[in-house]
Amino acid sequence: MTAAVELRSPVGALDRLRRDPRDDWPSPARDLYRYLVDLYGETDPLPLAAAGWIAHQRSAHTQTNYARHFRVMEQYVRQCGVHPLLVKLPLADAFALHLQSAPTLVWRGGQRVPLGPPRADTGQAAVLSGASSFYDYALKAQVIGREAGNPFEAVLRPAIDPDFSATEGLTDEEFERLLVTARDLHRPRHTAHRAYTLLLLMYALMMRVGSALAARIEDIGYDRGHHVLNVVLKGGTRKKKVLPPLVYDAVMTLIGDRTEGFIFATATGKPLDEPSVWRMIRSVARRAGLPQAGSIHPHIAKHQGVSEALANKLPLAEVQDGADHKDPRTTQRYNRRKGMLDNSPAYTLAASMAERLAAGGSDGV
């Protein structure tokens, strides 16, 4: 009788339904929480605040990047002997200066080691923006007092030229060689078609790598005569993108008889991660003999798609929409940069000087 009463009791029902809200966090938040608990312990407010801030972000892309950037900032202030929740403006300024020369992590022997070149201005700005976002969240969550403020709010970030892109472009022939190498020569062979399909998808649909890796089989559809992919964009919004026959056939070959899960999945069914894609594309670029092999990165595929669309005289508004750019200047950046390189007066000046030097050399000068 008592047991029956307990089963009907609202209090008993709540006890049975009670759960740990951390179970609902996305994986970047859970991973960051465990990392910080190992350093500061469960009673310290930092792990919960930082993980809650990551879970608060709308898109998986932002969650992953913010978690990675936070670790960079946390490690620096900890090595300075300061708790992250006690950072003041002078230390935040010092961290900004540190980023200008700090090496980045690169893969060596299966491990990430700090041997890479320092971050570009855009990378430094991204890390500082993430730090500022965390302290804004900590203020709203009342983890730090209003009197403390956001130490990164007044930090001067690198000036970013909206018309400049550091992405190294490829010629049409070089990108074609990259695709053919991924499809026909990539090692190991069992991942070759996956590498080819990923590059092709990001190129034709002008997609960011994060959106491509988040795509699921369930997101493939058919709409008014078009095969489509329901893509998650930066910021968490969704958009239908056309899958042209070449891309659709490659995707369907890749997924085979699978009916659910991530399109770009590992052998265990987990989504392919960005570090794996970076290693893959550089491996393919080296095998293809590209001069940019050491610095090439996944964004080159989207960059190439936008560049070729503009070179083919497609209307700017259509290319801007296809590339998911909010500002046409972002789209124009690809076009203007390509023209500036192809038509650079440096070629004419150097060619003229070469002729004069050759002529002078024949006279014995």
pLDDT at 331: 85
Are 309 and 301 spatial neighbours (Cβ–Cβ below 8 Å)?
no
- Parse the chain into domains and list their residue ranges: 19-140, 172-342
pLDDT at 3: 44
pLDDT at 1: 41
Are 60 and 210 spatial neighbours (Cβ–Cβ below 8 Å)?
yes
Parts of the chain with a pLDDT under 70: 1-18, 161-168, 335-340, 361-365
pLDDT at 146: 87
pTM of the model: 0.66
Are 186 and 283 spatial neighbours (Cβ–Cβ below 8 Å)?
yes
pLDDT at 13: 52
Are 209 and 274 spatial neighbours (Cβ–Cβ below 8 Å)?
yes
Residue with tokens 């200066």: 97
Q: 172-342 maps to which CATH number?
A: 1.10.443.10
**Quick one: tokens of 3?**
């047991």
